């Protein structure tokens, strides 16, 4: 367990670097949010005094870990769902890829939010304040927070349309392959839209309440419609 103690400052340092590069919610905003399993809450027995990040991240992974490769140093068990389905529509020109068995940032979210893996399922056990591992694989996500059938969710894991296509279908063209706004506030991942394009899992109650909304650049359309959808859906 000692490596965890040594690793935590590194993770925090990494977080600060990222915060410095983009005007996003600081990672520390996760405190007291529904993603804060350190504080007593729906999925947390509470009392873990120094392992907040470890509910999702771990500084070091060894061997062929059951949580998959080291993407974002993910510490949560990944889902075994092989087929989530993809959203389609008459007007959509993009073609999403099924997230089943993939390793995208959205698969990390789905490791809790598809409802098939207990929230407290960690690669490296998370210890409470008494250094005893917390009980694993018992606490499942409440259904109203899950998204199992991705045919009924806003499409993700698709290549954001190029400028010409975007214009044809009435979508805001992306500034570059890293974000729609060009400043990282509405990020893309290898040019693809993912959960994290609209949601920041670290953004706590101060930013979009419990829905972890990112703070999109303000536009008149969003103000008038009362909806952030129209940031992209012109």
Partner 1 sequence: MRRAVFIAALLLAIGILQLLFAQNGNKSSIINSKHDFRAASAAQIRSANGQSACIFCHTPHNAGSSNYLWNHRISTQDFPVYNSSTLQSTITPIQPQDVSKLCLSCHDGTIALGDTVNDGSVAFAQGTGYTLPAGSASNLAGDQTFANDHPFAFAPKIGGEVVTPPPSDPVHLDRSGKLQCTSCHDAHKEDADPTTRKFLVKSNQASAVCLTCHQKTGWAGSAHNQPPDASENLRYAHTQGAHTGYIGVRNNGCESCHRPHAPQVGQRLIKQTEENVCFQCHDGSVVTRNIKAEFLSKTYKHPVLLTPSTHDAAESPSSAAHTLPETSVGQARHAECADCHNGHQANSTTALPPLISGALLGVKGQSSSNSFLTQSPNEYEICFKCHGDSANKPQSLDKSIAGIGYGRNPQRQYDAGNLNAYNTRAEFTQGISYHPVTRPRNLSAGEAPSLRSSVMSNSGSPLPNRPLAGGSQIYCMDCHNNDTGRNLGGSSTGTSGAHGSNIAHLLERANMMETATGTPGRGSGISYALSNYALCDKCHDVQNSVIANRSFRYHRLHIVDQRTACSTCHDPHASSSSMLINFDTSIVAPNSNKVLSFIRTSPGHGSCSLTCHGENHNNRSY
Q: List interacting residues with partner 1 (CB under 8 A).
A: 87-90, 147, 149, 151-154, 163, 166-168, 170, 172-173, 175, 182, 198, 221, 224-227, 229-230, 233-234
Task: Kindly state the smallest distance separating residue 34's Cβ from partner 1, in Å.
Answer: 15
Task: Kindly state the smallest distance separating residue 233's Cβ from partner 1, in Å.
Answer: 4
Task: Kindly state the smallest distance separating residue 88's Cβ from partner 1, in Å.
Answer: 8
Q: In Å, how far are 61, 118, 144 from 114, measured between CA atoms? A: 24, 10, 11
Helices (H), 85-162: 105-113
CA angle 168, 222, 34 (to 5 degrees): 110
Give strand pairing partners of 57: 74
Task: Kindly state the smallest distance separating residue 28's Cβ from partner 1, in Å.
Answer: 27
Q: Which two tokens stand for residue 150?
A: 């991705």
Residue 181 near residue 187 (C-beta atoms within 8 A): no
Task: Kindly state the smallest distance separating residue 111's Cβ from partner 1, in Å.
Answer: 17
Residue 71 near residue 38 (C-beta atoms within 8 A): no
C-beta closer to partner 1: residue 18 or 167: 167
Give strand pairing partners of 44: 41
Spatial neighbors of 126 by CB under 8 A, at least 6 apart, are: 48, 51, 54, 55, 75, 120, 133, 134
C-beta closer to partner 1: residue 123 or 231: 231
C-beta closer to partner 1: residue 1 or 234: 234
Residue 172 near residue 232 (C-beta atoms within 8 A): yes
C-beta closer to partner 1: residue 126 or 193: 193
C-beta closer to partner 1: residue 48 or 172: 172
C-beta closer to partner 1: residue 42 or 149: 149
Task: Kindly state the smallest distance separating residue 85's Cβ from partner 1, in Å.
Answer: 8
Spatial neighbors of 176 by CB under 8 A, at least 6 apart, are: 182
C-beta closer to partner 1: residue 82 or 227: 227
What are the phi and psi torsion angles at 123 (to 5°)? -60, -55
């Amino acid at each position: 367990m000692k490596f965890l103690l040594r690793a935590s400052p590194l993770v925090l340092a990494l977080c600060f670097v990222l915060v410095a590069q983009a005007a996003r919610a600081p990672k520390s905003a996760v405190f007291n949010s529904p993603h804060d399993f350190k504080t007593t809450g729906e999925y947390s027995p509470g009392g873990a005094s120094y392992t907040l990040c470890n509910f999702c991240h771990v500084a070091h992974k060894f061997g062929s870990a059951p949580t998959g490769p080291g993407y974002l140093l993910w510490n949560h068990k990944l889902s075994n769902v092989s087929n989530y389905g993809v959203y389609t529509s008459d007007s959509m020109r993009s073609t999403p890829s099924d997230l089943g068995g993939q390793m995208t940032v959205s698969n990390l979210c789905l490791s809790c939010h598809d409802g098939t893996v207990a929230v407290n399922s960690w690669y490296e056990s998370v210890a409470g304040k008494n250094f005893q591992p917390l009980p694993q694989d018992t606490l499942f996500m409440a259904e109203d927070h899950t998204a199992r059938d991705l045919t009924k969710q806003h499409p993700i894991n698709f290549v954001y349309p190029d400028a010409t296509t975007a214009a044809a279908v009435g979508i805001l063209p992306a500034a570059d392959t890293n974000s729609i706004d060009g400043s990282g506030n509405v990020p893309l991942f290898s040019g693809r839209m993912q959960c994290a394009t609209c949601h920041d899992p670290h953004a706590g109650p101060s930013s979009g309440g419990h829905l972890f909304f990112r703070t999109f650049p303000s536009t008149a359309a969003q103000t008038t419609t009362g909806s952030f959808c129209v940031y992209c859906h012109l």
